[in-house]
Structure 1
């Protein structure tokens, strides 16, 4: 009885000889996964762009300024502003070598408290209260400013600074004065994109307020 020889199995196809269909089925799932991932990342990026929507952020200026007065140990005033003004931000900062000790002449670290306000027009102004010397406070807020005049607000003289450079455009003006009180003096500065009348409103509300009491 004769037997038929069993054919030898075909050798595996060399990877070098794989045709386009083999390569497609090998990397196809990877391509699909990359497309899906790119779409997800694209949606995340898109959702994070554009101007913020919704109401203007609110800020507890009375609470924040009281806390600053307690923590910084400098005279802090809470301006009583007309209806339509809204506090929307605040911060504390330090200025190395920002003040001169009157007894020793030594340069010491100064501190400051800032609250940002939106005027009824929608323009932003900030009020900074500090124990820094005038030049050091101004320099810490905006570079290359120089005094260009004064404004009299109900008998208080505010020095007006101008200049600066923001992307080739003149910087915002800055008004500053030194307010004395029973607990000492404070250098106060106002800056922002508001009108002269809005500067005067914030200046008057600040200088007419008494320093907040501290424990």
Structure 2
């Protein structure tokens, strides 16, 4: 997906999340006024921030799919495959935000009581929820090879900030022309596509039949194969 589209997805997701969080806070504010300071600091504040982050991640995934849906339904899919497993790079951003939410405020002072343990449990629960989201995302994000190019789409819950950051990740969602492929490598269990201008790579799982179909497409578009031993 182009940086412009990523920026649009980010801004739409951000402002909807901001609006939803502000609206929700107006409803829950009367309920938390009477709570102890430790409960607000260790439970309410990080919980609201966590919910906002999860809403943002889910919104990004849904909006990215809406952007890609037209290309998915308007073109015939010749071959499809599951993308490779997400690595640590795909997990860094949400986990970094959780560290900011749950631990950076503690540098200004800590309130040690039962609410502090709830804060730690909320952190662990947040990590588990994001891990589940990423696993679902990994299973539901696929690569579709079409006549004029290939599309990576699905419920892609990888969080992205496309402003001033290196956002090159493997299997980035979006439509690619076959001209975007520099070369490809065939491994026993997978195929890797190296993109031009070092803009990342596409990795998907492949068995014998899928390799045969894919190789035929590459020969048709005159894309060179690179030996794995090189």
Assess same fold via TM > 0.5: no
TM-score normalised to the size of structure 1?
0.25
Question: Larger radius of gyration, structure 1 or 2?
Answer: 1
Which structure dedicates a bigger proportion of its chain to strand? 1
Greater share of helix: 2
The TM-score with structure 2 as length reference comes to 0.24
